[in-house]
Structure 1
Amino acid sequence: MLRPRIIPCLLVHKGGLVKTQGFKDPKYVGDPINAVRIFNEKEADELMVLDIDATVNKVLPDFSLISKLAAECRMPLCYGGGVTTAEQAARIVDMGVEKVAVSAAAIANPSLLSEMAAAVGRQSVVAVLDIRKRTGLFAKGYELRTHNGKTIHNSEPIALAKQLQEAGAGEVVINSIDRDGVMQGYDVALAEQFKHELKVPVTFLGGAGSLDHMNDLISTVGVVGAAAGSLFVFKGKYRAVLINYPTPEQKVMLCREALKNKHM
């Protein structure tokens, strides 16, 4: 039976684990390998690791780091950052990574997802869309951005998500730039729109500051991936660094919300 997935998202910057707010001001919070070991102990459903330097700096994926992450990780691992070819994706999967995430490269060339799906299987291909509310006096809706939020694209986000789904994405991650690191709740209205329009699994990232926020997302939208960064690396109002994760009992409660509302 399908159930919600609770997913820590780790950002890697200059080899260290960081947390951003609004995609800005990365704060160092520790060693990514050590974080993986702690999430192993806490039996996380899945882990997402995104290298926020690679695409911006136009460098290859850090295969050395990926190899270390895959060797340590005892839960399904999704890696993104710098992947531009199906051959790179196949190399990453061969290392033991279950999913490979792409953003800017897929938006520039959706056929990359078809090539990746042929090489590693559709279930291992993840498209990540970073989305922000349009600004301006008469602005409405959302816009798509890449390169850590610095590059704006003209594509309508939901239409593009459907295009990437058809091209070969087995999962779509929707990342809210506005809510990144704010810890005041997901953009549930936006999540509902994407869940309604897409057939593949969808994961939402950006805004979670408590399990109540995850409950709001799951009880409204249904069986999705509920991903978070700050929630799982900070503790308390002073944002002290402490790796944490829901207990098995807390995860069961979140699953019950999806079942209760018959969002399957």
Structure 2
Amino acid sequence: MLRNRVIPALLLQNEGLVKTTKFKNPKYVGDPINAIRIFNDKEVDELMVLDIAASQTGSEPNYQLIEELAGECFMPLAYGGGISTVEQAGRILACGVEKICLQTAALNKPQLVSDLAQKFGSQSIVVSADVKKNWFNKPKLFKAAERKIVDSDWIEYLQQQVRAGAGEILLNSVDQDGTLSGPDLDLIHTASEAIEVPLIALGGISSLADIKAAIEAGASAVAAGSFFVFHGPHRAVLITYPKYSDLEQLF
């Protein structure tokens, strides 16, 4: 087991895998079952699947698809998207998923994080915080389902979610999403200093050096999307993952 996890973050839309850029322009990249089989072969540490359409449309999680994904997945699986009740979370965990990831529900129903942590344990609860810079280049919370900035202190929000029972925080930089331009190291450092639970950094990763830089900035784990599904200057779809030996040397 690596000291720091490196996690592919896969985005679901209409049962297919997509990849966005700055949370816009989703590009179809393939079948999720096929992607999971490839990642199985590559001995991935952990996998994260996020349904980006479920909360936007108010849809329930697609339990049949989640069960199929969990059945194929040989590594720990985290799922997010459309979860708004304890019952839904329980049904997803019963499918074989290890962790529930909340974003919209954590913003709209803060008590849900506490309820889930109390019932299933903090180790099963990840709260995703999307952060986007405003016109003044100040980081702000971003509600992806409504595509709007939230007028509250993002650092305080992370701390509130940890106090509520979140076992991990997924920090997603909207401005770096899908750009392959490198992570926002200042954002990662600020967040890691503010909380005492593991921080997963997501957004902008384009190389092993970026992964190392994010860890050195304070992340406990690094997640990435484009880095694992695109190849070359024309962004051809090719699912990859670093060799275990290369990651061992990195850390």
Distance in 2 (alpha carbons) for counterparts of 1:148 and 1:84: 13
Given residue 174 of structure 1, which amino acid in structure 2 is its aligned partner?
L
Given residue 220 of structure 2, which amino acid in structure 1 is its aligned partner?
V
1:106-141 Cα offsets, whole Å, 9 max, x none, are 112211011111221110001001110111xxx242
Distance in 2 (alpha carbons) for counterparts of 1:149 and 1:184: 25
TM normalised by structure 1 equals: 0.92
Aligned to 1:52: 52
Q: Does 1:116 align with 2:112?
A: no
How high is the sequence identity, in percent, across the aligned residues? 47
Alignment RMSD (CA, Å): 1.3
Distance in 1 (alpha carbons) for counterparts of 2:86 and 2:243: 37
8 Å CA contact 2:56, 2:146 repeated in 1: no
Aligned to 1:142: 139
Q: Does 1:219 align with 2:216?
A: yes
1:180 to 160, 177, 182: 177
2:156 to 145, 155, 159: 159
**Gapped regions of structure 2 (runs ≥ 5):** none
- Name the stretch that deviates more: 101-110 or 18-27: 101-110
Give 4+ residue runs of structure 1 displaced > 6 Å after superposition: none
Alpha-carbon shift at residue 146 of structure 1 (Å)? 1.5
Distance in 1 (alpha carbons) for counterparts of 2:88 and 2:61: 8
Distance in 1 (alpha carbons) for counterparts of 2:23 and 2:146: 7
Aligned to 1:237: 233
Q: Secondary structure at the match of 1:184?
A: coil
Given residue 126 of structure 2, which amino acid in structure 1 is its aligned partner?
V
Alpha-carbon shift at residue 32 of structure 1 (Å)? 0.5
- Name the stretch that deviates more: 124-133 or 142-151: 142-151
8 Å CA contact 1:149, 1:177 repeated in 2: no
The residue correspondences of 1:247-258 to structure 2 (distance < 5 A) are 247-255=243-251
Alpha-carbon shift at residue 149 of structure 1 (Å)? 6.4
8 Å CA contact 2:2, 2:248 repeated in 1: no
8 Å CA contact 1:144, 1:156 repeated in 2: yes
The residue correspondences of 1:10-89 to structure 2 (distance < 5 A) are 10-89=10-89
8 Å CA contact 1:5, 1:225 repeated in 2: yes
Distance in 2 (alpha carbons) for counterparts of 1:63 and 1:168: 25
Distance in 1 (alpha carbons) for counterparts of 2:250 and 2:185: 16
1:189-241 Cα offsets, whole Å, 9 max, x none, are 110011111111110100001111112112332x5110000000011111111
Distance in 2 (alpha carbons) for counterparts of 1:193 and 1:3: 21
8 Å CA contact 2:230, 2:236 repeated in 1: yes
Alpha-carbon shift at residue 181 of structure 1 (Å)? 0.6
Distance in 2 (alpha carbons) for counterparts of 1:85 and 1:2: 33
Aligned to 1:133: 133
Given residue 160 of structure 2, which amino acid in structure 1 is its aligned partner?
Q
Number of equivalenced pairs: 251
Alpha-carbon shift at residue 253 of structure 1 (Å)? 1.8
**Gapped regions of structure 1 (runs ≥ 5):** 256-264
Distance in 2 (alpha carbons) for counterparts of 1:178 and 1:238: 20
Distance in 1 (alpha carbons) for counterparts of 2:44 and 2:110: 31
Q: Secondary structure at the match of 1:79?
A: strand
Given residue 202 of structure 1, which amino acid in structure 2 is its aligned partner?
L
Aligned to 2:190: 193
Distance in 2 (alpha carbons) for counterparts of 1:220 and 1:13: 32
Q: Secondary structure at the match of 1:118?
A: helix
Distance in 2 (alpha carbons) for counterparts of 1:245 and 1:61: 27
